Amino acid sequence: MVNARLKPDGIEIGRDRLFELLRTHNLLIRRRRHPKQTTWSGHRLRKYGNLIRDLELNRPNQVYVADITYLQTLEGFCYLALITDAYSRKIVGYDVSRSLCFEGCLRGLQMALAQLSGPLQLIHHSDRGIQYCSQAYVELLTTHGIQISMTEELHVYENAKAERVNGILKSEFLLGECLASIDLAENMVKDAIKIYNEERLHLSLNYQTPAMKHKAAGAIAPLAKA
């Protein structure tokens, strides 16, 4: 990915050499681990099976993966709900909320669905958190004819793509830092998602951005946050 960015400027550098330079100048991003829990699956609401374990992805708007992560600020925690297209890796919906209630996830889902038209053949995949099993969330999915899929083994590998997007936003776009305010967090999220979707090249996408991959496969519309 580095060479793909630098070659147009006549610069070529290997991965090891790049990391050596970054380490020398103290520019490497440190991974941070926090014990903040965003998923509670010990509820009695209906849980669904995993529909995507062996599914081959061949188009956008085939599978959306959903997840929640926390953002730390000096005003307290806030929570980022994301909806990502599994095929293109494009973030198609999001919301920053001050609580872990289902409303934030619901607003993120509504943003994603607002970009779609026509009959859907779409699977929504998430963990078994109470937000995704809530009546309002399930009703919105079923009203649109969307199949519901959830993790079964309660570990991140069954929702790895959603977890990966969370990690990129936190490590590469500074959302893992303690931010000054929730308002700042909201603005940083908006900017980070725009850059992630439209500028960040992905090795797994053959050095395309998620927006390029999404558009090339005939998907719909840029992401817009009111």
Tell me the pLDDT tens digit for each residue of 16-72.
Answer: 566 566 667 666 555 555 555 555 556 678 999 999 999 999 999 999 999 999 999
Task: Say if domain 31-216 classifies as CATH 3.30.420.10.
Answer: yes
Contacts of 158 (CB under 8 A, 6+ apart): 50, 53, 127, 151, 152
User: What pLDDT shows up at residue 8?
Assistant: 62
What 8-state DSSP symbol labels residue 205? G
Its pTM stands at: 0.80
Phi, psi of 113, deg, nearest 5: -70, -25
Q: In one letter, which amino acid is 176?
A: G
User: What pLDDT shows up at residue 214?
Assistant: 94
Angle 165-51-205 from CA coordinates, rounded to 5° = 35
Is residue 91 over pLDDT 90? yes
User: What pLDDT shows up at residue 93?
Assistant: 98
Query: Is the Cβ–Cβ distance between 97 and 103 less than 8 Å?
Result: yes
Cβ neighbours, 10 Å, residue 198: 14
Phi, psi of 139, deg, nearest 5: -65, -40
CA distances 44 to 3, 79, 104, 112, 187, Å, are 50, 23, 21, 27, 36
Tell me the pLDDT tens digit for each residue of 146-173.
Answer: 999 999 875 667 899 999 999 999 999 9
Q: Where are the beta strands (DSSP E) in 128-169?
A: 147-150
Higher pLDDT: 41 or 77? It is 77
- Distance between CA atoms of 206 and 153, rounded to whole angstroms? 31
